[in-house]
Amino acid sequence: MVATKVNLSSTNELRNVVDDRLPEVMGHIGYEQDFSIVDRKLAVGYVTGIMAAAVFLLDKKLGFKASYNYVVLLLALYSVGMAYFYYFTSTVEKSIKYVGYDKKEAKDKVTISTEVKDKYEPVLTIEVNLNDKSVKQDVHFNKFFNETGYLEVVPVIDYFKLQLSTLDSKAD
C-alpha cells in the first residue's frame, strides 16, 4: 500500500489511516480478515434497494390505486430492514474496524475497535479482543506517525503484537 501524507492536526484523518492499514498490519502478524460484518451490511443494503426498486416498478406498472397495498407492505418491510441496519451499525458493529482469524489456528478470533473520544486530543482508544479476552488502551498518535505525517507501520505492528501476546497470556 502506498504511504500517504496525513494532516497531523486532524484526528479523524489520523484514525482513518490507522483503520485502513489494519488488514495489512494484522496480515504481518499472521491474521486474515473476516468480512462477515461487511457482508451483512451489504446484504441488508441490497435487500432494501431491491424493495425500493419494487415499489417504484409496482407504482409505474400498476398505478397508484392498484399497487397501494403492495407499496404499504414493501415500505413496512423496508422500514424493518432499515431499523435492523441502524441497530446493527449502532450497537453490534459500533466502532469495530477489523475482524480476523489466525491463519494457523482458525479458532483464534481477533476484533479491533478504534475511536477518538475528543477530536481535539490526539489520542486513539484501541480495544483489542482475542477469544473473548479484551484489552483497551489509549495511544497517542505520535507513536504511530512521524513528524512529517506518514504512518510508521513497524510501531503499529509491534503495538498489536504486544497487545495480542498480552491477551494470549491472559488466556492461559
Looking at residue 34, what is its pLDDT? 92
Locate 18 and state its grid cell.
490507522
Q: Which one, of 136, 155, 135, lies nearest residue 146 by Cα?
A: 155
Q: Any idea where the domains of the chain sit in the sequence?
A: 11-34+96-171, 38-92
Q: What is the bridge-based pairing of β-strands 31-33 and 109-115?
A: unpaired
Looking at residue 89, what is its pLDDT? 86
Long-range contacts of 19-25 (CB under 8 A, 24+ apart): 19/97, 19/98, 19/114, 21/151, 21/153, 21/156, 22/97, 22/98, 22/112, 23/98, 23/100, 24/153, 25/153, 25/156, 25/157, 25/160
3-class DSSP state of 136: strand
In the sheet with 109-115, reading across from the earlier edge strand, the strands are: 31-33, 96-102, 109-115, 123-130, 133-140
CA gap 150, 144 in Å, rounded: 9
CA gap 134, 113 in Å, rounded: 11
Looking at residue 169, what is its pLDDT? 82
Radius of gyration of the chain (CA): 21
Looking at residue 156, what is its pLDDT? 95
Low-confidence ranges of the chain (pLDDT < 70): 1-2, 171-172
Looking at residue 94, what is its pLDDT? 82
Looking at residue 48, what is its pLDDT? 86
3-class DSSP state of 126: strand
